[in-house]
Chain A
Amino acid sequence: MKKEFFESDIGEAYVKAIHPTGLKIYILEKPQYNSAYAIFGTKYGSIDTCFSVNGEETKVPEGIAHFLEHKLFESEDGDAFTKYAKTGAYANAFTSFDKTCYLFSCSDKFYENLDILLNFVQSPYFTQATVEKEQGIIGQEIRMYDDSPAWRVMFNMLLAMYKNHPVRIDIAGTVDSISKIDADLLYKCYNTFYNPSNMFICIAGNVDTEQVLKKIKDSIKVSEGLEITRINQAEPDSVCENYVEQNLAVAQPLFCFGYKEKIENEVRSVKQRIATAVLMEIIAGEVSPLYKQLTDKGLINDEFDSEYFNGQGYSAVIFEGESSDPELVAELIKAEVDRLKNEGIDKKLFSAVRCGMYGNAIRLFNSVEGIAMQLVDCAMNDSCLFDEIKYLKSITVEDVYKRLSLLDNEKTVLSVIKPMEA
């Protein structure tokens, strides 16, 4: 296996290895820790609904990646949870827009658990009967999300923001779309996206790198790499609607306010992402003048947060929270963006934000879960775990100011969940 070693001056180091199949492996040892956290993932999420493999084009129902995640836990010889129950590990899985991850954490029997993980993710077993049963379970999950204000406020915003990009669809699909899933379709998706060349394994904690690599080398089924092309319709720069609202059983309004960024490249570089994260803190972080203004006016509370939402072909700067007057919050954010464009960024504020983010980047290394998740980001973006710490030392106020030009007050969406009318 090809191996690379990465080291940082904060005393952490990790190995990136590439299996002959193309599988990427990241391992960060934490010998002083009791536990370890492992993730086996694939670059396959809810947005991968239309793709071609070796020239052959396929369109699949919405929500199939999530459905596949549920089904993969079952193998011919029993389900994965039962196997983990024998070791005592905590196990789970999740599907997001652009990836599906299977994970476990444990403080004992790590290699047994790793065996279970490697095994079940590589052993698909779908029958018509098990697919039908799952349609019932996921149908209930979808209904639960229909009631979740935090979930709805976000997806309503994405629907209004994106005309064509599949990021606009619910990760779990709809009751109708999942009814079209059958065993053959699941195998088709599995054989495409669960090819090792499209996958990664990320591990942090009390493990031995060589032993882990040997175990993985012995367990990965050899297969030929595939040429996967994801087919997306062109996405306009503009948004569909600037405002959307829905009534749900909430006591006070929730909002999600997003800037749709023009995508010039398919994905954002690490530097661009970090500069944007700094910018968002400067616009509305806890040290920003806007945060003080919004709090003093009684418009936000501790739920107020921001997120840089980006992946293959989509990118948005999002502010969300609870407010008695979401429209005013959105207006004030827009005004602050304009002000920063005109007046520039305060150097003292920039330096405080950078200092805080530097500390947070170091803090991340306290948690094996946090590290493993960050390694997943490295696998997805082909970046280095220490990029953030390194770049935060050298970033300038000009780098951050440049990112401001991507925020266009015309290309925003405000999504609001209002209480039911009495």
Chain B
Amino acid sequence: MSEKIIDLGKGAQGLFIKNSRFNTTLISFNFYLPLAKETVADYALLPFILTSCSKKYPDFSLLNYKLSRLYGARLDASTEKYGDYQLLKIKISVINDRFSLDGESLVNRASDMLLELIFNPNTENESFLETDLCREKRKAIEHIKSEISEKRVYAKNRLIEEMFKDQPYSVAKCGKIEDVEAITGKSLYNAWVKMLKTAFLRVNVVGSSIPSGFFENITEKLGTIPREDIPMPKNSAPACSVKTVNTVTEAMDVKQGKLVMGFTSQLFGNDDNSLPLMIMCDIFGGGPYSKLFSNVREKMSLCYYCSASSVRQKGLITVESGVEFENTDKAKTAILNQLDAVKKGDFSDFEFSSSIKSICDSLFSYNDSQNALDSWYCAKVNNDNLYSPEDIANKIKNITREDIINTAKGVKLHTVYKLVGRENN
């Protein structure tokens, strides 16, 4: 496998991730825009409206029909937070030409379709059409509501919101319901124009070959847009420090409570020096060999789930757990005790090496998934080196126990979020 960055003009890159083991080709457009509560909802809606119709396919049903005829090509839209940026992703995956039963070039047709959808939306008088707008707004609002219904997701989102108060990262990735309600055909059109003009763009192709003339086509299309000088997305700061731990408790009609804890570290950004944070977090609460799993869940039976995950970009560690209401405080103490143990170096060589092995094993599996490779290289957009998963696995092998202890010492509890039942509040 080899990767090569191809210049597509101002603030735009193409990346060919050559990998011939798949039956499909994946093409993704990734737009990076600053995360801000004023613009988040409009931007977040763009990938969805753009993948629902276009000038050539004015009706979503017609588009779905075409995708089905294209041997079930998959068109996907998403919006994610990437540090203090909003990442808008539009991708298509299609089976390779050799499987076509009538000799058509499926990959070229899929890449043409993607360009049509992104650059030629169904708009009139510089505005998206009312029917399309209503449909996509409704779906976005329902999606936000369903995240509120999913208590595990909800509790984590609330923690992030509290922890990064007044910072861009606190902004919910799709915005709030009222922000979505305020979107108009006009405002969305303006957001589309602004995206094309100002977003940093990375186009990934994962497969055995680049569709013919594909990157040249994009360069040409971007050339017709007055693109500004667009810098690469930058690393962003962790949560502002607090003097005392911030605790937030909410009550809802639930049978089981949620306890979510947010920690900060000064090791942030996606480069090499934050790699120990990933391992430290894993020893603390990653796999089944971790402190949290083996002690808080298994030995103490305090939670059905209790695990830690890290967002290196933000120097953020979160611990999520499902607990009986009456055990919330006990669980919190137990979780903190386990973090102290890591700080004191009270973890075995077994726990340490298990973590390294497990993470390396999964890094070596990245090459077996097109979606994993696509996401991997999207998260490397602001790195000078285009490290592959194997490169990172080899770096991780050099991390020492001391690196872990030193990293853990810098980890501080910042915010605690508790979701409890109504009668218990």
Contact = CB atoms under 8 A, between A and B. Distances in A.
Nearest to A364: B23
A356 B72 CA distance: 4
Given A149-B149, A249-B149, A322-B142, A366 B72 contact: no
Contacts of A137: 297, 301, 304
A397 B281 CA distance: 55
A141 B304 contact: yes
B100 to A, nearest CB: 9
A358 to B, nearest CB: 6
A194 B15 CA distance: 50
A252 B146 contact: yes
Interface in A254-296: 254, 286-287, 289, 291-292, 295-296
Contact of B364 (A34, A252, A352): A34
A359 B292 CA distance: 43
A355 B253 contact: no
Contacts of A286: 64, 67-68
A358 B21 contact: no
Contact of A362 (B21, B95, B305): B95
Interface string B15-56: 000001111100000000000000000000000000000000
B346 interface: no
B23 A34 contact: no
Contacts of A251: 145-146, 148-149
A90 B361 contact: yes
A105 interface: yes
B362 A90 contact: yes
Contacts of A141: 304
A301 B23 contact: no
B365 A147 contact: no
A362 B23 contact: yes
A88 B357 contact: yes
A357 B72 contact: yes
Given A87-B357, A144-B304, A249-B254, A353 B68 contact: yes
Contacts of B369: 366-367
B401 interface: no
Contacts of B149: 149, 249-252, 254
B61 A85 contact: no
B28 to A, nearest CB: 16
A197 interface: no
Contacts of B72: 355-360, 363
A106 interface: yes
B138 A362 contact: no
A30 B369 CA distance: 13
A309 interface: no
Interface string A100-143: 00000111100000000000000000000000010011001101
Interface string A332-375: 00000000000000000000110111111011011110000000
Interface in A9-54: 10, 30, 32-35
A291 B252 CA distance: 34
Contacts of A133: 301
A349 B78 CA distance: 28
Contact of A86 (B134, B151, B256, B354): B354
Interface string A231-254: 000000000000000001111101
A254 B68 CA distance: 27
Given A137-B301, A291-B61, A89 B361 contact: yes
A143 B60 CA distance: 40
A166 B67 CA distance: 40
B139 A301 contact: yes
B151 A140 contact: no
Contacts of A366: 22-24, 369-370
B194 interface: no
A171 B139 CA distance: 32
A356 B289 contact: no
Contacts of B148: 251
Contacts of B214: none
Contacts of A1: none
Given A10-B23, A140-B304, A356-B68, A295 B60 contact: yes
Interface in A289-344: 289, 291-292, 295-296, 298, 301-303, 322
Nearest to B252: A249
B183 interface: no
B322 interface: yes
A108 B361 contact: yes
A420 interface: yes
Contacts of B243: none
A5 to B, nearest CB: 21
Given A144-B322, A147-B256, A249-B252, A85 B289 contact: yes
A368 B367 CA distance: 12
Interface in B381-396: none
B68 A107 contact: no
B350 A249 contact: no
A252 B145 contact: yes
B143 A301 contact: yes
Nearest to A33: B368
Given A137-B304, A295-B135, A143 B143 contact: no
Nearest to B65: A287
Contacts of B259: none
A222 B360 CA distance: 37
A65 B263 CA distance: 39
A84 B368 CA distance: 21
Interface string B56-86: 0001110011011111111000000000000
A223 interface: no
A352 B61 CA distance: 12
Nearest to A417: B149
Contacts of B138: 298, 301
B211 interface: no
A106 B145 CA distance: 37
A85 B322 contact: no
B162 interface: no
B287 interface: yes
A73 to B, nearest CB: 9
Contacts of B94: 359
22 contacts: A33-B367, A33-B368, A34-B367, A35-B368, A82-B288, A85-B288, A85-B357, A88-B356, A90-B362, A107-B362, A133-B301, A140-B303, A248-B253, A249-B149, A249-B151, A292-B59, A301-B138, A352-B65, A355-B69, A359-B71, A359-B73, A360-B72
Interface of B: 20-24, 59-61, 64-65, 67-74, 93-95, 99, 101, 131, 134-135, 138-139, 142-143, 145-146, 148-149, 151, 252-256, 287-289, 297, 301, 303-305, 322, 324, 350, 354, 356-362, 364-365, 367-370
Closest 10 CB pairs of A and B: A359-B71, A88-B357, A359-B72, A251-B145, A356-B72, A356-B68, A88-B361, A85-B354, A107-B364, A81-B288
Given A34-B364, A287-B64, A353-B68, 6 more contacts: A107-B364, A146-B256, A287-B65, A352-B68, A358-B71, A367-B369
